[in-house]
Amino acid sequence: MTRSIWPPRGVRLVPKRLLSFTRSVHGVNVSAVTSPLVWEHVQPAAARRLLTGAVDAFAERGFQATTTRDIASRAGMSPAALYVHYPSKERLLFEISLYGHNAALEVLRSADTGSTPTDRLRSLVSAFTAWHAQHHTIARVVQYELAALSPEHLAEVATIRRAISTQIEQVLADGVHDGSFAVTDLPGTTLAVLSLSIDVARWYTPHRGDPEALGKLYADLAHRMVGA
């Protein structure tokens, strides 16, 4: 099966040990990924405040426009205090990106249920879309600030992104195999389905509707996109 090219071209994928964010995702309710409780594994508390402050700052201003002073101010700390816990602003972005991508992957894996490719695709798209709406702040950071990561950190995140892509692509391939889906370009269609859900993080605000209802709508759209 041809793999879709969702990670950036030219990225060398390097298998590495994932940080503590991986452990926080498995076995917990990832629907609360932006809740303060989810970050309790980040110790000490000062490091946790810096991390959550960085999420808000990067989502609001973008990585490049955010200063260490911005992040420290949101955490109620001095700019110099940031370097006690994180070697750089980029390291903060990497920690956030790694955690967010692992949480999104776990959402997909948990949603891959159903007896047919159609049921599985609808479940996947519904859950993935709802997650990007519910957690649009962190999702906006992890999806749209990738270019600011170092090559090494980008490669590690790209490994997870490829796993996310494969989760969708495999369901599409299964549907093509049993005649449920009419897909001539598997990598391109995988990218289109993923983009449909991911783009929600760019524009979503709570007054734009219920995330679960939005997930069902997007599941309908994805099914129409690939239906035989």
The percentage of the chain sitting over the pLDDT mark of 90, rounded to a whole number, equals: 67
pTM recorded for the entire structure: 0.80
* pLDDT value, residue 23: 32
Higher pLDDT, 13 or 78: 78
* pLDDT value, residue 18: 29
Helix axes 186-198, 151-178, angle to 10 degrees: 120
Helix axes 151-178, 117-134, angle to 10 degrees: 150
The pLDDT-based confidence of 205 (bands split at 50, 70, 90) is confident
Residue 66 has pLDDT above 90, yes or no: yes
Residue 37 has pLDDT above 60, yes or no: no
The pLDDT-based confidence of 31 (bands split at 50, 70, 90) is very low
Cis bond before residue 151 (omega within 30° of 0): no
- List helix spans (H) across the chain: 20-25, 45-61, 68-74, 79-85, 89-111, 117-134, 136-144, 151-178, 186-198, 200-203, 211-226
Distance CA 203, CA 90 (A): 24
Check: CB of residue 117 under 8 Å from CB of residue 178.
yes
The pLDDT-based confidence of 30 (bands split at 50, 70, 90) is very low
pLDDT in tens, 110-126: 999 889 999 999 999 99
The pLDDT-based confidence of 6 (bands split at 50, 70, 90) is very low
CATH architecture of 89-226: Orthogonal Bundle (1.10)
How many residues does this entry show for the chain? 228
Across-strand partners of 227?
181
Q: How deeply is 10 buried, as exposed, middle or buried, from its count of CB atoms within 10 A (0-12, 13-18, 19+)?
A: exposed
Distance CA 175, CA 222 (A): 13
* pLDDT value, residue 228: 63
Measure CA 207 to chain center.
22
Distance CA 48, CA 43 (A): 6
* pLDDT value, residue 181: 96
